[in-house]
Amino acid sequence: MPRSASRSRSRTSATPRAARRPRVIWLYGLSGAGKSTLAAGLARRLRAGGVATMLLDGDVVRAGLNRDLGFSAADRAENIRRVAEVSRLFVQAGVSVVAAFITPTRALRELARGIVGAGAFVDVYVEASWATCQRRDPKGLYARAGRGEVRQFTGKDAPFEPPARTARVVNTEACTVTQALDRLQALVGPRRRARTRRAAR
């Protein structure tokens, strides 16, 4: 293999410094709060900035890797455990992850942080009130839960624990998607270059 010719084109050497320190941006919050929308938008922005990025969305993962899991407390924990382990593998491969999972309890958030490693884990609460999420109801889940067709629905008959006051929060109640994305990017921005941070303000 002609190593000298191809080595200079390897991913690691061709990407900017920021891309060499992969991390896991973990968005949590109620169904309908805007996690998937923001995660997809953030992943797009990171990629556009030269950061190899994988989007892990709850619904997508539950259709593949975690298709055997339901919504009992034990299955929710296993869901988060596996996604955190997979995120860790991506970080090992040099790829950042944007994850969008309800992650309803503090214990589950700590489980994910412990597996990924605190140094690479950035969790952000995507906040919207129950009333707002119910009004948006992008998947019709609130309507179904209201009719008693969905069991263990987070915030209704399964707990959601808001984070401590010191948590990173993006509130999506009264802003556009672009505004929420700008806020999210500012929150997770410490590893971006100074010029980029100024532009985002």
Binding site for a second copy (CB under 8 A): 1-3, 6-7, 9-11, 14-16, 19, 45, 47-50, 52-54, 56, 64-65, 68, 78, 82, 85-86, 88-90, 92-95, 115, 185, 195-196, 199-200
Distance (Å, whole) CA 50 – CA 68: 35
Q: How far is CA 24 from the centre of its chain?
A: 8
Please, what is the minimum distance in Å from the beta carbon of residue 52 to a second copy?
5
Cα–Cα distance list, 156 to 63, 106, 150, 160 (Å): 24, 17, 10, 9
Please, what is the minimum distance in Å from the beta carbon of residue 74 to a second copy?
11
Q: Which residue's CB is nearer to a second copy, number 89 or number 107? A: 89
Distance (Å, whole) CA 167 – CA 193: 23
Q: Of 159, 38, 166, whose CA–CA distance to 108 is shortest?
A: 159
Please, what is the minimum distance in Å from the beta carbon of residue 120 to a second copy?
15
Q: Which residue's CB is nearer to a second copy, number 30 or number 38? A: 38
Report residue 7 as tokens: 């080595």
Query: Would you call 100 helix, strand, or coil by DSSP?
Result: strand
Q: Which residue's CB is nearer to a second copy, number 66 or number 154? A: 66
Q: Which residue's CB is nearer to a second copy, number 62 or number 132? A: 62
